[in-house]
Amino acid sequence: MARSKFYYHIKRMKLKEKYVLEKEEIKDIFHEHKGRYGYRRITAEMRNRNYVINHKTVQRLMGEMGLKCKIRKVRYRSYRGEIGKVAPNVIDRNFVATSPNRKWATDVTQINVGSSKLYLSPILDMYNGEIISYNISDSPNLEQVYDMLDKAFEKFDNLEGLILHSDQGWQYQHFGYRKRLEERHIIVSIR
């Protein structure tokens, strides 16, 4: 055996033995926090427990042990508190309509498509469940809601007395949204 190979293998064996205690501590921290801690938080916790170790070493050791943190999925929530004027709840859980175009409902829904997110904003007629108009966007913004309303307004000339019900999302509290509905004499209802 060549001299260099002998010392190469001796050095490799010492490296494997070097981080035995640290590996056990990393495993304990990882499982203690139910797999939610990545290498940065584990490094910080190791330092709290008086271990002097580099974050890159923790990352490498976690990779060797097959420890990978879980990424939490964050759901879209449109409520940001009171942005503008909140309308009364006119519908009051009475979702039955006796004729078309008397009661509509709308909301923004997040749809996960692979690693990307899309936002669907439909208007539903409570009479027969028909989708009056919709918009799909890659970000939940006011323009999406305006586009959805404009498409619905193009279909019908007179919508006077219609009740449009939504949740308390910031889009539906916005002055521009309420103004567009008031111009067409549509009653705003927010739950």
Q: What does the pLDDT read at residue 135?
A: 92
Q: What does the pLDDT read at residue 168?
A: 76
Q: Give the residues of the chain that fall short of pLDDT 70.
A: 15-16, 72-86
Q: From residue 87, how far is each of 56, 108, 170, 172, 177 by CA, in Å?
A: 54, 18, 12, 9, 12
Q: What does the pLDDT read at residue 120?
A: 92
Q: Give the integer Cα–Cα distance in Å for 159 and 129.
A: 17
Q: Give the integer Cα–Cα distance in Å for 100 and 125.
A: 7
Q: What does the pLDDT read at residue 81?
A: 58
The pair of three-digit structure tokens given for residue 165, joined into one six-digit string: 């019900």
Q: What does the pLDDT read at residue 83?
A: 57
Q: Is 103-190 in CATH node 3.30.420.10?
A: yes
Q: What does the pLDDT read at residue 60?
A: 92
Q: What does the pLDDT read at residue 82?
A: 60
> Dihedral angle at the C-alpha atoms of 56, 62, 65, 68, nearest 10 degrees?
-140
The pair of three-digit structure tokens given for residue 59, joined into one six-digit string: 């990352």
Question: Angle CA(128)–CA(132)–CA(134) in degrees, nearest 5?
Answer: 130
Domain borders along the chain are 3-65, 103-190
Q: What does the pLDDT read at residue 75?
A: 66
Q: What does the pLDDT read at residue 50?
A: 93
Q: What does the pLDDT read at residue 6?
A: 87
Q: What does the pLDDT read at residue 41?
A: 94
Q: What does the pLDDT read at residue 61?
A: 93
Q: Give the integer Cα–Cα distance in Å for 123 and 44.
A: 48
